[in-house]
Amino acid sequence: MNRLIASARTVARNSSTILLRGESGTGKELFANAIHAEGARRKHPFIPINCAALTESLLESELFGYEDGAFTGAAKGGKKGLFEQTNGGTLFLDEIGDISPRLQVRLLRVLQEGTVRRVGGHNDISVDVRVIAATHRNLEDMIRCGEFREDLYYRLNVIPLTILPLRERKEDIPLLAQHLIRKICAKIDKSEVHLAKESVEILVAQKWPGNVRQLENTLERVINLIDTTEIRPEHLSAWTDISEAGTLRSVGMISKNQQTLQMEIPITGDWPPLKAIVASVEKEVISRV
């Protein structure tokens, strides 16, 4: 992580395109914002957009803008797109792997030519924008499947930075937890709490598939529900999906020693209705749980 932060600080000084890789919740937008704040463009806008959150047509109009009358419902006088609004600054394109092939072509042109054309427009508009893209998807596999353009990949992958998942940097968890607790307590206007030593050990033992985002949500849930100044192991087991033994409880798990359900169903004669069979199985599962 120290090497990654040092690399991010170094590349922040130039305007080359950066591709942030990492699982969901690792803090890709946080890195993008920090890179912008460290660079020469810090006095200009930093605008993030989640490419997976909008339909193709909405994303196109958001990124490139549109002219007056370009489509039904278009604002009178048209609208500047995010590339124009970010001019001189940094545009963060989160979930870049989710944009459609048609928009991939349009984005490639912006990166190559430094110009955008609004929806319904006929003139190219010059823009000076640093692009930082991010994805949790395997773009190389998408290229092989024909889902992502190879030429766009190389335009985006000028400076690749990969953020490790939380399970591969567990020594960061105590530091992150302390920081997040301070942040959460300030957010909800609550006196600061601290983690018991045993609680820290429980947090470190988790795999955290949702990474830092999951850790933050877990701590916020617990802090909201306790009335003490210390987060103890029983708080974690009572108010989260974490057990005191340090394992995630999975919905649907009957027990640690899973058993096979065996039912007596007659081969001959009249069969009970399917609904009755299902109800009987459900009753047995619930009983064992």
pLDDT in tens, 121-180: 889 999 999 999 999 999 999 999 999 999 999 999 999 999 999 999 999 999 999 999
Q: Of 174, 232, 224, which is closest to residue 203 (Cα–Cα)? A: 174
Non-local (6+) Cβ contacts of 165 within 8 A are 22, 23, 26, 208, 211
User: 135: alpha, beta or left, given left = phi > 0 and alpha = psi -120 to 50?
Assistant: beta
Least confident of 32-46, 53-67, 71-85, 265-279: 265-279
- In the chain, ranges of CATH 1.10.8.60 domains: 167-239
> Confidence band (pLDDT; 50, 70, 90) for 15?
very high
What gap in Å lies between CA 89 and CA 54, rounded to an integer?
22
Phi and psi (nearest 5°) for 46? -115, 115
Pick one of 3.10.450.50, 3.40.50.300, 3.40.50.2300, 1.10.8.60 as the CATH number of 2-164.
Answer: 3.40.50.300
CATH topology classification for 167-239 = Helicase, Ruva Protein; domain 3 (1.10.8)
> Confidence band (pLDDT; 50, 70, 90) for 250?
very low
Percentage with pLDDT > 70 across the chain: 88
- In the chain, ranges of CATH 3.40.50.300 domains: 2-164
pLDDT of 249 above 60: no
pLDDT of residue 56: 94
> In whole numbers, what is the pLDDT of the chain averaged over residues?
88
